[in-house]
Chains A and B, each alone.
Chain A
């Protein structure tokens, strides 16, 4: 079943078309990799799905077994979050004035409608354990290293209880062992039943954990397929992977 579908998504900034008539599908339970050169429109596509930017043309629909198919394009970000689509930001946007715990608790409180404080706290504890953030809990957000920031960003998204998670370069800037850890976390999240779209430049990660890859170039879909198909695709090698 396709849990999320985009049709003819288009977004222009002034005269520059950042996302140009892009169609995509996301099957329930998969990890879809989104790759492409800088400026290809990957983050803009995330912004269109999550409601951060308004869509010029096209639709995004969400299907779940309880509520059927709903249109999510045109909704405000907080509504989209409540429907179960969570995201992280390329540059971590954690709340620097709050403790780590309160960062995650806020997500649990605001991301789940009508949740009691007790349940929100239980959810927070669960997420902290799941993401392995315990060793950092006594630090302030400003003092934790990049890998921790990225992990907190993921934890904040998870605490909203999503069915779909959009990960925007959660591995950028990490050292090899941190990348390994991050890959393990992404796989674990996926195994817990959350469908994932991830933007990443770390090819090793993309190739080993994504079931399917979508390549964007100049805002358009250049190719789509399994990691093997993509790594041998001539046009992809030409514009992105290199010879």
Chain B
């Protein structure tokens, strides 16, 4: 593979990880989180601090754990908020962390940004691929487990779930933290791609919105949805940026509006519909 392909594929895998991990928590529970950038950024800063001392797999593990703990604490406080209040808080978290890290750096380390250790693209690619594989296994296991059923119950009727014995707070916070682990690990790996980072780069709110858009684009009912959404979206982004650099956001926006209006269940919803229609036509002929 050429270096360009490796880098492009790494980006796509990163987006798949973020979209799948976002969907894992937000789709069954109905709690829309915009905190992905916060956990992704926490992973980036893990590598920025520790990159010189420990190898990449360990960096990803530590980045994941940092995000997991962060999500657990934040979740314990905020997951009693419902609906749009939760969403607003999670979005605020990105700004809060950005400014907290900036304040810390300037006050105590007297730097604004940091140079990050660089690791060759192929290693990053394989590490991300392993992370994705683990994430997909985790998602499949959770879907089949009691924990998965509890998540679904919380999403469909939180009061009813609590009254049949589901510890709703614990279930929500745990799922939120597991999803944050993946985003943190992805951030730790991706940090090595940028030789320099600062809080503005690390905690980029675009990383909160992209996974949501990708999941909507692909459809959230099946795990394949966010995967396909992320692949198409990431590739489309690359294509539009290189071909139509000045129009890219406009075209992007138009496609997004079209998908939301005409494909409420995303690409996967369309695929399901078409295969069903196909099966019916076959029956009739």
A residues with a Cβ closer than 8 A to B are: 50-52, 76-78, 81-82, 86-87, 89, 93-98, 102, 106-107, 109-113, 156-157, 159-160
Known interface pairs A95-B152, A97-B152, A98-B152; A110-B157 also in contact (CB < 8 Å): no
In the complex, A84 Cα to B34 Cα: how many Å?
38
Q: Is B166 an interface residue (CB 8 A)?
A: yes
Q: A78-B168, A109-B146 are in contact. Are A89 and B156 (CB under 8 A)?
A: no
- Bound-state Cα–Cα, A213 to B157, Å: 31
B148-189 vs A, Cβ < 8 Å mask (1 yes, 0 no): 011011001101111111111100000000000000000000
A97, B162: Cα distance in complex, Å: 17
User: How near does chain B come to A155, taking the closest CB pair, in angstroms?
Assistant: 11
Among candidates B159, B165, B169, residue contacting A82 with C-beta atoms closer than 8 Å: B165
A89 touches B159 (CB 8 A): yes
The interface residues of chain A lying within 8 Å CB-to-CB of B165 are 78, 81-82, 107, 110-113, 160
Cβ contact of B167, chosen from A78, A89, A95, A107, cutoff 8 A? A78
Whether A93 contacts B159 by the Cβ 8 Å rule is yes
Which B residues are CB-close (under 8 A) to A106?
149-150, 153, 161, 164, 166
For the complex with contacts A51-B162, A78-B163, A156-B160, 20 further pairs of A-B residues with Cβ separation under 8 Å are A52-B159, A52-B162, A76-B162, A76-B167, A77-B159, A81-B163, A81-B165, A82-B165, A87-B163, A89-B160, A93-B157, A95-B152, A97-B156, A98-B152, A102-B149, A106-B149, A106-B150, A110-B150, A110-B161, A157-B164
Indicate with 1 or 0, residue by residue over B235-266, a CB within 8 angstroms of chain A CB atoms.
00000000000000000000000000000000
Which chain B residue shows the least CB distance to A110? B165
**Total number of B residues with any Cβ neighbor in A under 8 Å:** 18
Given contacts A78-B168, A110-B150, are A52 and B156 in contact (CB under 8 A)?
A: no
Contact check: which of B152, B164, B168, B169 meets A107 at CB < 8 Å?
Answer: B164
Q: For residue B163, which residues in chain A have a CB less than 8 angstroms away from its CB? A: 50, 52, 77-78, 81, 86-87, 89, 157
Q: Which residues from B are CB-within-8-Å of A93?
A: 157, 159-160
Q: Give the residue name and chain of the B residue nearest to A102 (CB).
A: B149
Q: List 21 A-B contacts (CB under 8 A).
A: A51-B162, A52-B159, A52-B163, A76-B167, A76-B169, A77-B159, A77-B163, A78-B162, A78-B165, A78-B167, A89-B160, A95-B153, A95-B156, A98-B153, A102-B149, A106-B149, A106-B166, A107-B165, A110-B165, A113-B165, A159-B164
CA A109 to CA B167, docked complex, whole Å: 12
Which residue of chain B has its CB nearest to the CB of A107? B164
Residues of A within 8 A of B164 (CB): 81, 86, 106-107, 110-111, 156-157, 159-160
B162 near A109 (CB under 8 angstroms)? no
- Whether A109 pairs with B159 at a CB distance below 8 angstroms is no
Nearest CB in chain A: distance from B201 CB, A: 40
**CA A183 – CA B166 in complex, angstroms?**
29
Interface core residue of A89, A93, A102, A159 (most chain B CB under 10 Å): A93
Residues of A within 8 A of B166 (CB): 78, 106, 110
Given contact pairs A52-B163, A109-B146, A95 touches B157 in the complex (Cβ within 8 A): yes
The answer to whether A98 touches B146 (Cβ under 8 A) is: no
The answer for the CA separation of A109 and B152 in the assembled complex, in Å, is 14
